[in-house]
Amino acid sequence: MVDGGVLSNSSYSPFLALQGTTPYLAFSNAVVGGNATVLRFDGLNWATVGAPGFSTGGTGYNCLAFDGTTPYIAMLDSANKASVMKFNGVSWEFVGTPSFSSGPLLSMSLALDGSTPYVAFTDSSLYNKVTVMRFNGYNWVTVGAAGLSYDAAFDPTIAIIGTTPYLAFRDAANGNRATMMKFNGTAWVNVGTMGFTADVAAYLSMAVNVATPYVAFQDGAQNGKVSVMRFNGSSWENVGAPGFSGSIVFTPFLAFDGSTPYVAYQDFDHDGKATVMRFNGVAWELVGNAGFSAAWAENTRIIMVGSTPYVAYVDDGNQSRITVMKYE
Protein backbone atom coordinates (compact mmCIF):
# COMPACT_ATOMS: atom_id res chain seq x y z
CA MET A 1 0.00 0.00 0.00
CA VAL A 2 1.12 3.54 -0.79
CA ASP A 3 -1.25 5.40 1.51
CA GLY A 4 -0.37 8.98 2.38
CA GLY A 5 -2.30 8.84 5.64
CA VAL A 6 -2.79 12.58 5.25
CA LEU A 7 -6.58 12.79 5.41
CA SER A 8 -8.61 12.88 8.57
CA ASN A 9 -12.01 13.00 6.87
CA SER A 10 -13.69 11.61 3.80
CA SER A 11 -12.56 12.95 0.45
CA TYR A 12 -13.59 12.34 -3.14
CA SER A 13 -12.85 12.72 -6.87
CA PRO A 14 -9.33 11.22 -6.84
CA PHE A 15 -7.23 11.45 -9.99
CA LEU A 16 -3.76 9.98 -10.54
CA ALA A 17 -1.23 11.32 -13.04
CA LEU A 18 2.45 10.74 -13.71
CA GLN A 19 5.28 13.25 -14.09
CA GLY A 20 8.34 11.27 -15.18
CA THR A 21 8.33 8.47 -12.64
CA THR A 22 6.62 10.47 -9.88
CA PRO A 23 2.95 9.77 -9.09
CA TYR A 24 0.73 12.77 -8.35
CA LEU A 25 -2.71 12.61 -6.77
CA ALA A 26 -5.44 15.26 -7.03
CA PHE A 27 -8.61 15.08 -4.95
CA SER A 28 -11.33 17.10 -3.25
CA ASN A 29 -10.16 17.39 0.33
CA ALA A 30 -12.92 17.27 2.95
CA VAL A 31 -10.46 18.47 5.60
CA VAL A 32 -10.43 21.88 3.89
CA GLY A 33 -14.04 22.24 2.79
CA GLY A 34 -13.84 19.98 -0.24
CA ASN A 35 -11.26 22.24 -1.90
CA ALA A 36 -8.73 20.76 -4.30
CA THR A 37 -5.44 19.35 -3.01
CA VAL A 38 -2.56 17.84 -4.98
CA LEU A 39 0.05 15.48 -3.52
CA ARG A 40 3.15 13.84 -4.99
CA PHE A 41 4.79 10.62 -3.84
CA ASP A 42 8.53 10.84 -3.16
CA GLY A 43 8.99 7.08 -2.80
CA LEU A 44 8.27 7.12 0.93
CA ASN A 45 5.62 9.71 1.66
CA TRP A 46 2.97 11.86 0.02
CA ALA A 47 3.95 15.55 0.04
CA THR A 48 1.60 18.46 -0.64
CA VAL A 49 2.18 20.39 -3.86
CA GLY A 50 1.57 23.98 -2.81
CA ALA A 51 -1.03 24.66 -0.15
CA PRO A 52 -3.66 22.05 0.70
CA GLY A 53 -7.14 23.15 -0.34
CA PHE A 54 -5.79 25.76 -2.78
CA SER A 55 -9.02 26.17 -4.77
CA THR A 56 -11.48 28.89 -3.83
CA GLY A 57 -14.37 26.54 -3.16
CA GLY A 58 -15.30 22.89 -3.06
CA THR A 59 -14.46 21.01 -6.23
CA GLY A 60 -15.42 17.90 -8.17
CA TYR A 61 -14.39 16.02 -11.32
CA ASN A 62 -10.72 16.75 -10.66
CA CYS A 63 -8.44 16.00 -13.64
CA LEU A 64 -4.65 16.26 -13.64
CA ALA A 65 -2.15 16.57 -16.51
CA PHE A 66 1.39 17.85 -17.08
CA ASP A 67 3.21 20.29 -19.32
CA GLY A 68 6.70 18.92 -18.76
CA THR A 69 7.13 19.36 -15.02
CA THR A 70 4.20 21.74 -14.52
CA PRO A 71 1.00 20.17 -13.14
CA TYR A 72 -2.37 21.46 -14.32
CA ILE A 73 -5.68 20.65 -12.67
CA ALA A 74 -9.14 21.05 -14.19
CA MET A 75 -12.06 21.00 -11.80
CA LEU A 76 -15.72 21.59 -11.29
CA ASP A 77 -15.47 24.71 -9.14
CA SER A 78 -17.77 26.14 -6.46
CA ALA A 79 -19.85 27.86 -9.18
CA ASN A 80 -20.37 24.43 -10.81
CA LYS A 81 -18.39 25.66 -13.81
CA ALA A 82 -14.99 24.71 -15.22
CA SER A 83 -11.77 26.19 -13.85
CA VAL A 84 -8.17 25.27 -14.58
CA MET A 85 -5.16 26.01 -12.36
CA LYS A 86 -1.44 25.31 -12.67
CA PHE A 87 1.38 25.17 -10.15
CA ASN A 88 3.97 27.89 -10.77
CA GLY A 89 6.58 26.35 -8.49
CA VAL A 90 5.37 28.23 -5.42
CA SER A 91 1.58 28.35 -5.56
CA TRP A 92 -1.42 27.43 -7.67
CA GLU A 93 -2.71 30.07 -10.09
CA PHE A 94 -5.65 30.22 -12.46
CA VAL A 95 -5.10 29.58 -16.14
CA GLY A 96 -7.12 32.37 -17.69
CA THR A 97 -10.47 33.32 -16.21
CA PRO A 98 -11.94 30.99 -13.58
CA SER A 99 -15.44 29.58 -14.15
CA PHE A 100 -14.97 29.92 -17.90
CA SER A 101 -17.70 27.49 -19.04
CA SER A 102 -20.94 29.16 -20.03
CA GLY A 103 -23.03 27.19 -17.57
CA PRO A 104 -22.87 24.41 -15.00
CA LEU A 105 -21.24 21.21 -16.17
CA LEU A 106 -21.89 17.59 -15.33
CA SER A 107 -18.55 15.89 -16.06
CA MET A 108 -15.22 16.85 -17.59
CA SER A 109 -11.82 15.75 -18.89
CA LEU A 110 -8.43 17.47 -19.35
CA ALA A 111 -5.59 16.98 -21.85
CA LEU A 112 -2.53 19.03 -22.75
CA ASP A 113 -1.04 19.68 -26.19
CA GLY A 114 2.36 20.93 -25.05
CA SER A 115 1.47 23.86 -22.82
CA THR A 116 -2.05 24.26 -24.26
CA PRO A 117 -4.76 22.82 -22.01
CA TYR A 118 -7.94 21.41 -23.53
CA VAL A 119 -11.03 20.75 -21.43
CA ALA A 120 -14.05 18.70 -22.56
CA PHE A 121 -17.26 18.85 -20.56
CA THR A 122 -20.94 18.01 -20.59
CA ASP A 123 -22.48 21.45 -20.98
CA SER A 124 -25.79 21.83 -19.16
CA SER A 125 -26.33 25.25 -20.79
CA LEU A 126 -26.55 23.44 -24.16
CA TYR A 127 -28.94 20.61 -23.33
CA ASN A 128 -26.11 18.47 -21.94
CA LYS A 129 -24.23 18.37 -25.23
CA VAL A 130 -20.45 18.22 -25.11
CA THR A 131 -18.21 21.28 -25.55
CA VAL A 132 -14.42 21.45 -25.87
CA MET A 133 -12.43 24.57 -24.96
CA ARG A 134 -8.72 25.39 -25.00
CA PHE A 135 -6.60 28.17 -23.55
CA ASN A 136 -4.93 30.18 -26.32
CA GLY A 137 -2.54 32.00 -24.01
CA TYR A 138 -4.98 34.82 -23.33
CA ASN A 139 -8.51 33.42 -23.17
CA TRP A 140 -10.50 30.20 -23.14
CA VAL A 141 -11.91 29.65 -26.62
CA THR A 142 -14.25 27.02 -28.04
CA VAL A 143 -12.69 24.32 -30.22
CA GLY A 144 -15.07 24.02 -33.15
CA ALA A 145 -18.73 24.46 -32.33
CA ALA A 146 -20.00 24.64 -28.76
CA GLY A 147 -22.35 21.75 -28.04
CA LEU A 148 -20.68 19.75 -30.80
CA SER A 149 -22.61 16.50 -30.21
CA TYR A 150 -26.01 15.92 -31.85
CA ASP A 151 -27.67 15.27 -28.49
CA ALA A 152 -26.69 14.90 -24.85
CA ALA A 153 -23.20 13.51 -24.27
CA PHE A 154 -21.92 12.09 -20.99
CA ASP A 155 -18.60 10.81 -19.62
CA PRO A 156 -16.53 12.88 -22.09
CA THR A 157 -12.88 11.86 -22.22
CA ILE A 158 -10.29 13.75 -24.27
CA ALA A 159 -6.75 12.93 -25.43
CA ILE A 160 -4.25 14.51 -27.80
CA ILE A 161 -2.75 12.28 -30.52
CA GLY A 162 0.08 14.19 -32.14
CA THR A 163 -1.49 17.63 -32.10
CA THR A 164 -5.05 16.41 -32.80
CA PRO A 165 -7.68 16.36 -30.04
CA TYR A 166 -9.73 13.16 -29.85
CA LEU A 167 -12.96 13.05 -27.87
CA ALA A 168 -15.05 10.05 -26.76
CA PHE A 169 -18.43 10.23 -25.03
CA ARG A 170 -21.62 8.35 -24.23
CA ASP A 171 -23.86 9.50 -27.05
CA ALA A 172 -27.59 9.93 -26.37
CA ALA A 173 -28.16 10.45 -30.11
CA ASN A 174 -27.01 6.85 -30.63
CA GLY A 175 -28.69 4.96 -27.82
CA ASN A 176 -26.07 6.01 -25.24
CA ARG A 177 -23.47 4.00 -27.10
CA ALA A 178 -19.91 5.32 -27.42
CA THR A 179 -18.94 7.80 -30.12
CA MET A 180 -15.47 9.18 -30.84
CA MET A 181 -14.66 12.34 -32.76
CA LYS A 182 -11.50 14.26 -33.62
CA PHE A 183 -10.91 17.90 -34.51
CA ASN A 184 -9.49 18.27 -38.03
CA GLY A 185 -8.55 21.93 -37.57
CA THR A 186 -11.91 23.17 -38.77
CA ALA A 187 -14.61 20.84 -37.45
CA TRP A 188 -15.23 17.76 -35.35
CA VAL A 189 -15.44 14.60 -37.49
CA ASN A 190 -16.30 11.02 -36.58
CA VAL A 191 -13.63 8.43 -35.83
CA GLY A 192 -15.24 5.33 -37.28
CA THR A 193 -18.96 4.73 -36.83
CA MET A 194 -20.98 6.83 -34.40
CA GLY A 195 -22.34 4.71 -31.56
CA PHE A 196 -19.77 2.01 -32.26
CA THR A 197 -20.37 -0.07 -29.12
CA ALA A 198 -22.94 -2.86 -29.15
CA ASP A 199 -25.08 -1.21 -26.46
CA VAL A 200 -24.89 1.45 -23.75
CA ALA A 201 -21.30 2.40 -22.85
CA ALA A 202 -20.93 4.07 -19.44
CA TYR A 203 -17.92 5.37 -17.49
CA LEU A 204 -15.81 5.83 -20.63
CA SER A 205 -12.03 6.01 -20.20
CA MET A 206 -9.68 6.70 -23.13
CA ALA A 207 -5.97 5.98 -23.39
CA VAL A 208 -3.61 6.04 -26.35
CA ASN A 209 -1.07 3.43 -27.46
CA VAL A 210 1.29 5.23 -29.86
CA ALA A 211 -1.37 6.71 -32.21
CA THR A 212 -4.17 4.22 -31.53
CA PRO A 213 -7.06 5.29 -29.27
CA TYR A 214 -8.51 2.71 -26.88
CA VAL A 215 -11.61 3.02 -24.72
CA ALA A 216 -12.68 1.05 -21.65
CA PHE A 217 -16.30 1.14 -20.52
CA GLN A 218 -19.10 -0.52 -18.61
CA ASP A 219 -20.72 -2.54 -21.40
CA GLY A 220 -24.52 -2.68 -21.50
CA ALA A 221 -24.35 -5.50 -24.05
CA GLN A 222 -22.44 -7.57 -21.47
CA ASN A 223 -24.67 -6.95 -18.43
CA GLY A 224 -22.48 -4.11 -17.19
CA LYS A 225 -19.18 -5.97 -17.36
CA VAL A 226 -16.06 -4.18 -18.61
CA SER A 227 -15.04 -4.17 -22.27
CA VAL A 228 -12.15 -2.49 -24.11
CA MET A 229 -12.16 -1.47 -27.77
CA ARG A 230 -9.64 0.17 -30.10
CA PHE A 231 -9.76 1.93 -33.46
CA ASN A 232 -7.68 -0.03 -35.99
CA GLY A 233 -7.57 2.78 -38.54
CA SER A 234 -10.81 1.88 -40.29
CA SER A 235 -13.17 0.43 -37.67
CA TRP A 236 -13.62 -0.28 -33.98
CA GLU A 237 -12.72 -3.74 -32.68
CA ASN A 238 -12.78 -5.52 -29.33
CA VAL A 239 -9.51 -5.99 -27.48
CA GLY A 240 -9.85 -9.59 -26.36
CA ALA A 241 -13.27 -10.83 -25.33
CA PRO A 242 -15.92 -8.23 -24.51
CA GLY A 243 -17.30 -8.33 -20.98
CA PHE A 244 -14.16 -9.92 -19.53
CA SER A 245 -14.84 -9.04 -15.88
CA GLY A 246 -16.69 -11.51 -13.68
CA SER A 247 -19.66 -9.23 -13.07
CA ILE A 248 -20.85 -5.63 -13.30
CA VAL A 249 -18.19 -2.95 -12.81
CA PHE A 250 -18.09 0.78 -12.10
CA THR A 251 -15.52 3.43 -13.06
CA PRO A 252 -13.20 1.35 -15.27
CA PHE A 253 -10.01 3.30 -15.98
CA LEU A 254 -7.43 2.52 -18.65
CA ALA A 255 -3.63 2.91 -18.75
CA PHE A 256 -0.70 1.48 -20.72
CA ASP A 257 2.60 -0.18 -19.88
CA GLY A 258 4.25 0.11 -23.28
CA SER A 259 1.72 -1.55 -25.60
CA THR A 260 0.01 -3.52 -22.81
CA PRO A 261 -3.36 -2.12 -21.69
CA TYR A 262 -4.33 -2.31 -18.02
CA VAL A 263 -7.77 -1.55 -16.65
CA ALA A 264 -8.73 -0.93 -13.01
CA TYR A 265 -12.34 -1.01 -11.87
CA GLN A 266 -14.70 -1.34 -8.95
CA ASP A 267 -15.60 -5.02 -9.05
CA PHE A 268 -19.08 -6.14 -7.97
CA ASP A 269 -18.08 -9.75 -8.41
CA HIS A 270 -15.93 -9.04 -5.32
CA ASP A 271 -18.12 -6.88 -3.08
CA GLY A 272 -17.30 -3.58 -4.81
CA LYS A 273 -13.56 -3.88 -4.18
CA ALA A 274 -10.83 -2.87 -6.65
CA THR A 275 -9.57 -5.23 -9.36
CA VAL A 276 -6.93 -4.75 -12.09
CA MET A 277 -6.62 -6.76 -15.30
CA ARG A 278 -4.27 -6.55 -18.29
CA PHE A 279 -4.35 -7.84 -21.85
CA ASN A 280 -1.52 -10.31 -22.52
CA GLY A 281 -1.98 -10.24 -26.29
CA VAL A 282 -4.45 -13.11 -26.29
CA ALA A 283 -6.74 -12.67 -23.29
CA TRP A 284 -7.40 -10.48 -20.27
CA GLU A 285 -5.75 -11.74 -17.07
CA LEU A 286 -5.80 -10.68 -13.45
CA VAL A 287 -2.96 -8.62 -12.02
CA GLY A 288 -2.64 -10.03 -8.52
CA ASN A 289 -5.86 -10.94 -6.74
CA ALA A 290 -9.31 -9.84 -7.79
CA GLY A 291 -10.92 -7.57 -5.21
CA PHE A 292 -7.54 -6.71 -3.65
CA SER A 293 -8.68 -3.63 -1.71
CA ALA A 294 -9.70 -4.14 1.90
CA ALA A 295 -13.22 -2.81 1.30
CA TRP A 296 -15.51 -1.05 -1.16
CA ALA A 297 -13.38 1.03 -3.59
CA GLU A 298 -15.08 3.92 -5.41
CA ASN A 299 -13.77 6.06 -8.29
CA THR A 300 -10.90 3.74 -9.24
CA ARG A 301 -8.01 5.36 -11.12
CA ILE A 302 -4.81 3.74 -12.44
CA ILE A 303 -1.41 4.88 -13.71
CA MET A 304 1.64 2.85 -14.69
CA VAL A 305 4.94 3.81 -13.05
CA GLY A 306 7.28 1.89 -15.30
CA SER A 307 5.70 -1.57 -15.23
CA THR A 308 4.15 -1.06 -11.79
CA PRO A 309 0.42 -0.28 -11.58
CA TYR A 310 -0.68 2.28 -8.99
CA VAL A 311 -4.40 2.44 -8.18
CA ALA A 312 -6.22 5.18 -6.26
CA TYR A 313 -9.75 4.93 -4.90
CA VAL A 314 -12.11 6.24 -2.25
CA ASP A 315 -11.69 3.67 0.52
CA ASP A 316 -14.91 2.74 2.30
CA GLY A 317 -12.86 0.71 4.79
CA ASN A 318 -10.81 3.79 5.77
CA GLN A 319 -13.49 6.42 6.54
CA SER A 320 -13.83 7.20 2.81
CA ARG A 321 -10.31 8.57 2.63
CA ILE A 322 -8.25 8.27 -0.54
CA THR A 323 -6.05 5.18 -0.61
CA VAL A 324 -3.35 4.44 -3.19
CA MET A 325 -1.99 0.92 -3.70
CA LYS A 326 0.68 -0.50 -6.00
CA TYR A 327 1.32 -4.02 -7.22
CA GLU A 328 4.70 -5.53 -6.41
Render pLDDT for 242-301 as a digit per residue (tens, 0 to 9): 999 999 999 999 999 999 999 999 999 999 999 999 999 999 999 999 999 999 999 999
Length, in residues, of the chain: 328
Give dist(CA 174, CA 177) in Å, integer: 6
Contact yes or no for 151/172 (Cβ under 8 A): yes
**Quick one: CA dihedral 312, 152, 109, 234, positive or negative?**
positive
In a domain, 252, yes or no: yes
Q: Nearest 5°: CA angle at 4, between 118 and 316? A: 85
In a domain, 322, yes or no: yes
In a domain, 168, yes or no: no
Considering only CA atoms, which of 221, 107, 198, 104 is closest in space to residue 158?
107
CA distances to 159, 282, 296 from 217, in Å = 16, 19, 19
Torsion angles phi and psi, residue 90, rounded to 5? -125, -45
In a domain, 24, yes or no: no
In a domain, 143, yes or no: no
**Number of domains within the chain:** 1
- Mean pLDDT check: name the lowest of 27-41, 70-84, 114-128: 27-41
7: three-class secondary structure by DSSP: coil
Render pLDDT for 154-203 as a digit per residue (tens, 0 to 9): 999 999 999 999 999 999 999 999 999 999 999 999 999 999 999 999 99
Residue 237: CATH number of its domain: 2.115.10.20
In a domain, 34, yes or no: no
In a domain, 241, yes or no: yes
Write the DSSP string, 303-315.
EEETTEEEEEEEE
Element counts in the chain: helices (H) and strands (E) = 0, 27
Instruction: Residue 224: give the domain boundaries.
Output: 197-328
* pTM listed for this prediction: 0.96
In a domain, 267, yes or no: yes
